[in-house]
Amino acid sequence: MDVQTRIAEAERALAPTFARIEAIAHANTEKVLDAFQAAHIGDHHFAGTTGYGHDDLGRGALETVFAKVFNAEAALVRGQFASGTHAIATALFGVLRPGDELLAVTGHPYDTLEEVIGLRGEHQGSLAEWGVTYREVDLTPAGEVDIPAVVAAIGPATKVCAIQRSRGYAWRPAVDMARMKPLIDAIKAKKPDAIIFVDNCYGEFTEATEPTDLGADLIAGSLIKNPGAGIVPSGGYVAGRADLVHACACRFTAPGIGAAGGASLDQNRLLFQGLFMAAHTVSEALKGAALAAHVFAGLGYEVSPAAADLRTDIIQAVRFGAAEPLVAFCRAIQAASPINAYVTPIPDVVPGYGDDVVMAGGTFIEGSTIELSADGPLREPFVGYWQGGLSYSHCRIALGRVLKKLEEAVPHVALS
């Protein structure tokens, strides 16, 4: 079967899945539209500020809209966040104090948080060096959250229970809202004053509800992922309870300044526009991921999630089982990109990661993973992570080219 026939058959099979994804996008777009209108957003909010950024009208309105969209009391939305990891670290350092315990309840965290916590590296001012203790609760053998084990692990010093929504660099299901709700309820029943923090990266707008709708106290994410729709040039956000967001803002700037400082420069319009476009852009990426899952599964690869599964992040994992096809996969994604298509990705050390990583990112915004990209650490079981896609058309075209290049680069991988 040739590549285009295979893709066309996959599209026919996925029609109900695509319809479900689009219905979620419609609901989320209306939610965002209502938040814009409730905040009376006007073009005067697009003006930026410089210097200290005091009395930044647009910045304040943007944070009001974010809080409304995420059903939160407050939000901190800033272009100065360097990454999602920076936003997450700000949240954790903002609410934890020496002697507190951080409990990761969804297994081992994403690689870039290891040095934030203090599991790798020394003399960097990690949580461990600051006197915060850390434990984690393993997932079940099936990769699910072990709620009884979580409840048993919560102790008197447990201050923050951290949930990673996305699958990360692991072969496990992402934590969708149906799984997250009983987890949050169980934690609150055991310790009502525990702060439930959710790493929301890659998950925004994939479902009609967010963790803060379910009782999470604090969430954080990146604006060069889902909420920025591929047009926001940098930044991140923290949202949740007002007192916790204030504590995070004081960590982000300085005590006494908090959210009142930080110039928006000329970025406000892009941040507003990215948020408005986000739900649609995420739906395009989700359809592309479902298509990739269907086609790769048809070729005999293990994929997670399955093509028709409900998705709560934009990541599609494909198990290659060896370094050669993983590297070939990422190189093929790079070659199908609009930017730097002529560049050949080479596995190497990437700041924040413990293993060599091969990354394909021919994106308009450096490191943007709402744009079509792929990566994977060079370790067993050699899983490639397909993520993003500003348009379904690009995902579809890229998939066809990836399959052809993969067959050329790894001859024993046949398309028929």
Same domain assignment for residues 13 and 94: no
Q: Which pLDDT score is estimated for 409?
A: 72
Q: Which pLDDT score is estimated for 411?
A: 60
Same domain assignment for residues 255 and 269: yes
In terms of residue numbers, what domain contains 378? 3-26+279-409
Q: Which pLDDT score is estimated for 416?
A: 46
Question: Any idea what the CATH number is for the domain that residue 344 is in?
Answer: 3.90.1150.60
Same domain assignment for residues 234 and 377: no
Tokens of 215: 């009782």
268 CA to centre of own chain:
22
pLDDT in tens, 222-234: 999 999 999 999 9
Same domain assignment for residues 249 and 331: no
pLDDT in tens, 135-170: 999 999 999 999 999 999 999 999 999 999 999 878
Same domain assignment for residues 212 and 340: no
Same domain assignment for residues 69 and 199: yes
Same domain assignment for residues 350 and 388: yes
**Among the listed residues 295, 264, 228, 232, the one whose alpha carbon sits nearest the alpha carbon of residue 47:** 264
What global pTM score does this model have? 0.95
In a domain, residue 300? The reply is yes
In a domain, residue 37? The reply is no
Same domain assignment for residues 103 and 192: yes
Same domain assignment for residues 150 and 198: yes
In a domain, residue 96? The reply is yes
Domain-ending residue, one of 275, 305, 331: 275
Domain-ending residue, one of 275, 297, 318: 275
Same domain assignment for residues 259 and 285: no
In a domain, residue 35? The reply is no
As for how many domains the chain has, the answer is 2
Neighbouring C-beta atoms of residue 414, cutoff 10 Å: 9
In a domain, residue 18? The reply is yes
In a domain, residue 33? The reply is no
Domain-ending residue, one of 245, 275, 305: 275
Question: Any idea what the CATH number is for the domain that residue 107 is in?
Answer: 3.40.640.10
Same domain assignment for residues 62 and 202: yes
In a domain, residue 119? The reply is yes
List the pLDDT tens digit at each of the 416 positions of the chain. Answer: 789 999 999 999 999 999 999 999 999 999 999 999 999 999 999 999 999 999 999 999 999 999 999 999 999 999 999 999 999 999 999 999 999 999 999 999 988 899 999 999 888 999 999 999 999 999 999 999 999 999 999 999 999 999 999 998 788 999 999 999 999 999 999 999 999 999 999 999 999 999 999 999 999 999 999 999 999 999 999 999 999 999 999 999 999 999 999 999 999 999 999 999 999 999 999 999 999 999 999 999 999 999 999 999 999 999 999 999 999 999 999 999 999 999 999 988 777 677 789 999 999 999 999 999 999 999 999 999 999 999 999 999 999 999 998 888 766 555 54
Neighbouring C-beta atoms of residue 150, cutoff 10 Å: 20
Same domain assignment for residues 306 and 222: no
Which residues partner with 18 through β-bridges? none
In a domain, residue 32? The reply is no
